[in-house]
Amino acid sequence: MSRQGRTTAYGIPPRTSEVIGERTYRMLTFGSTAPKWTVVAFSVPEQDRTLRNNLRSRPLRFAALYDGVWVSPHDLGEEALGVVRELGITTATVLRSAEVPGTPAAGTPAAAFDLEPLAEEYREFADRYEPLLQSLDDGLIGPKQALRTRTELRVDWRHFPETDPDLPAELLPRGWDRARAQRVFVQIYDRLGPLAEIRFRQILGRCRRSWPSTPPTTTPRPSRSSSRRSESAAPTATRPSSKPPRRGASRRPRAAAASRHPQGGPSG
């Protein structure tokens, strides 16, 4: 954030911009094909409920295959080790392994993930937004609707990379609509981009017109020293005395001759 006069400007810090770029790339490209698992096996005493709850509350992309055995199709070994060390768990094992062919279906690592609710969300997303492709083909979406719809599209899609365990393709159930939903998202998001940018520039231009063109000018206030100098240089008016005049001060003195004798002198 920066300020110039009464104008305030906002920007995105460099690290925030990097995170946005990383998450956007993840949103557009997630979909693993490596069937190798990270396995965390740990033993925590049943009476130590606080430690068990702290371990379960960690935001790791693992699922519980059994009690005390977590699995993930991602290479999360370092992250898992960090949590184990932080919580002070000494009876834990972290390893990377591959599933042996022929493992019973109920015991395969993929069985730890409940995919049915997520599969339904993918279907609903695709069914909701797929008709927009035809509207774009027909030119029925203007800049205003494009900006609003593109924002809603991103908000509705962004939770999938966080909740999808990203299982290898060969482990996914039939009717898994992630590929369809991802295709709908990418196509609409890209095609709405130019129209949404037009609307964004319209809003930005409207805001710019409301900003003051020049910072307001203010009359500088005189300093105390200058005001004192100006007061000393100005002529001062004589203030009338508040004291009453002394008695007789304004009377004229009597003539000396008149005060001593009347005219002609005393008779002899």
pTM reported for the whole predicted model: 0.57
Among 10-14, 196-200, 241-245, which stretch is predicted with the lowest mean pLDDT? 241-245
Same domain for 156 and 78: no
Same domain for 104 and 122: no
What pLDDT digit, counting tens, does each position of 104-139 carry?
Answer: 988 888 889 989 999 999 999 999 999 999 999 999
Exposed, middle or buried, 80 (CB in 10 Å: 0-12/13-18/19+)?
A: buried
What pLDDT digit, counting tens, does each position of 188-223 carry?
Answer: 999 999 999 999 898 888 777 666 555 555 555 555
What gap in Å lies between CA 56 and CA 143, rounded to an integer? 45
Element at 232 (helix H, strand E): helix 224-233
Residue 10 or 194, more confident = 194
What gap in Å lies between CA 194 and CA 136, rounded to an integer? 12
Final residue in a domain of this structure, among 112, 142, 158:
112
Question: Which CATH number do you get for residue 108?
Answer: 3.30.70
- Show the domain range for 201: 114-209
Residue 35 or 50, more confident = 50
Mean pLDDT of 239-258: 50
What gap in Å lies between CA 253 and CA 21, rounded to an integer? 108
Residue 202 or 234, more confident = 202
- β-partners of residue 63 are 71
Final residue in a domain of this structure, among 112, 131, 162:
112
Final residue in a domain of this structure, among 192, 209, 226:
209
